[in-house]
Amino acid sequence: MNVQNKETFIVPEAVWIAYAQKDMEAARTLYRAGHYMACAYHCHQALEKALKALWTRYNDGEPPRIHNLRLLLTHITALSPPPRVVEAVLELNPHYVTARMPGWPPTDIHVYTYEYTRYLLQLTEDAWSWCLETLNSKSN
């Protein structure tokens, strides 16, 4: 087993993207199967990992171990995301908790309707595309 020093190891952006891709696939599959709450969670996870790939590209060091999409995006100061990406970040941000933990707003799991989840998934697809385009537009 290859053990690396956690203090010096930085997850490469390609690894963040590979994990994000799996979350995107999971979100799409869960949406088609009608598992809307789980879809929302994986949408958040996909965007979080894509933003951490961007963090790795544009900032020094490892991304912070946080799940707040707004904070991740605002600390990648080299980028000016389009309004649709900002909308995705703001709309998806609470779903890391609300899609997993009862008692956190919104407490009604029925908020995850077909229409609302389709909106979340489309926002995620748009933000995902922007993240990939941004990563592909500049090489290290």
Contact 46, 63 (CB under 8 A): no
Q: Which residues contact 82 (CB under 8 A, 6 or more apart)?
A: 130
Distance of CA 13 to the CA centre of its chain: 13
39-56: pLDDT as tens digits: 999 999 999 999 999 999
- Asked if pLDDT for residue 8 goes beyond 50, the answer is yes
| Average pLDDT, rounded, for the chain | 89
Instruction: Tell me which H or E stretch contains 122.
Output: helix 114-137
Contact 44, 55 (CB under 8 A): no
Domains, the chain, ordered by start: 13-137 (1.20.120.330)
**Confidence (pLDDT) at 98:** 73
- Asked if pLDDT for residue 132 goes beyond 90, the answer is yes
Percent of all residues in the chain with a pLDDT value above 70, rounded to a whole number: 86
Contact 77, 118 (CB under 8 A): no
Return the closest-CA partner of residue 42 out of 32, 29, 53.
29
**Confidence (pLDDT) at 140:** 46
- Is pTM, for the whole model, over 0.85? yes
Q: Which residues contact 53 (CB under 8 A, 6 or more apart)?
A: 13, 14, 16, 17, 20, 131, 135
Residues making up the chain, counted from first to last: 140
Return the closest-CA partner of residue 70 out of 57, 89, 94.
89
57-116: pLDDT as tens digits: 999 889 999 999 999 999 999 999 999 999 999 999 988 877 666 666 656 788 899 999
Q: How far apart are CA 27 and CA 50, in angstroms?
A: 14
